[in-house]
Structure 1
Amino acid sequence: MNDHPQRRIDELLARYEESHRNPMNELIHCVCIPAIVFSLLGLCWSVSPAVALVVAAASLAYYLSLSPPFAAGMLAMAAVMLVLLARLPAGAVLPVSAVVFVLAWAGQFVGHKIEGKKPSFFEDVRFLLIGPLFVLAVLYRRWRIQY
């Protein structure tokens, strides 16, 4: 008997994982989801670096409400991505972000074609924010980090 109630993050990840069981789809997602996050931050950065920081901070607040270890992982990932964006020539941020966004989403849909299931966010828009945690969960399980 399990004396611990299931946490909301565990429920969300379990539901997300239902349409991400194929190993090739999982691999595609582990590449494409960080690329999408990078491209979205880049699109925000192209408006203003402050916009990218606000979006990152708002996302981190949501992740903190779900799991401090996931929030820490996302903070590290966002920090690396924001540093990379700051180092790109200003005129390159928008076109690079747009190309990465399109290619990464194409990859996601190829993954779901392989999986034979539609993307989770068609059922619940929150899964757009859970996708990055799915990638961290894959890494955390391999590194035996509790989340």
Structure 2
Amino acid sequence: MSKIEELIENYKRDHQNPVNKALHMVGIPMIVTSLPLIFFVPPLGIALFVLGWILQFIGHAFEGKPPSFFRDPTFLLIGPTWYAKRIFAKLTGRKFDEPAPSPAEPTMTTQNVAHA
């Protein structure tokens, strides 16, 4: 298991409560969206940033655990990664915990490209 996969697994363990997960699914994109908006539309960017964090902390009150980044600031980047993986799983019809499919055997086309 890679370091990032290990961090995501730890993050998942800290986010089991359905209310917390739902609030994170709203709060994380608000925070990420707010970052560029702070420079272009400061009032909107700041409002999204603050509201996103409020949602995160309310979620952790339901979870009964402090945010993961209190333990390790790396989790500030893992949260958006967790969110992206959940969305990708929903879009592809896979379960979130299901491993990615292994690459298929090389086809004639990919073999020709590799040797070109």
Alpha-carbon shift at residue 41 of structure 1 (Å)? 2.2
Q: Sequence identity, in percent?
A: 43
User: What is the TM-score with the length of structure 1 in the denominator?
Assistant: 0.60
Higher relative helix content: 1
Q: 1:17 aligns with which of 12, 17, 25?
A: 12
Which residue is 2:74 aligned to? Answer: 126
Which residue is 2:83 aligned to? Answer: 135
Matching residue's letter, 1:146: A
Matching residue's letter, 1:17: K
Query: Are 2:55 and 1:107 equivalent residues in the alignment?
Result: yes
Matching residue's letter, 1:139: I
Structure with more relative contact order (C-alpha pairs < 8 Å, separation 6 or more): 1
Alpha-carbon shift at residue 9 of structure 1 (Å)? 1.8
Alpha-carbon shift at residue 133 of structure 1 (Å)? 0.7
Matching residue's letter, 1:11: E
Q: Which has the larger radius of gyration?
A: 2
Alpha-carbon shift at residue 18 of structure 1 (Å)? 1.6
Q: 1:41 aligns with which of 36, 41, 44?
A: 36
Alpha-carbon shift at residue 21 of structure 1 (Å)? 0.6
Matching residue's letter, 2:64: G
Contact 1:20-1:115 within 8 A present in 2 as well: yes
Cα-Cα RMSD: 1.7
1:73-108 C-alpha deviation (Å, 9 max, x unpaired): xxxxxxxxxxxxxxxxx5xx1000011111111010
Contact 1:140-1:146 within 8 A present in 2 as well: no
CA distance in 2, matches of 1:20, 1:96: 28
Which residue is 1:28 aligned to? Answer: 23
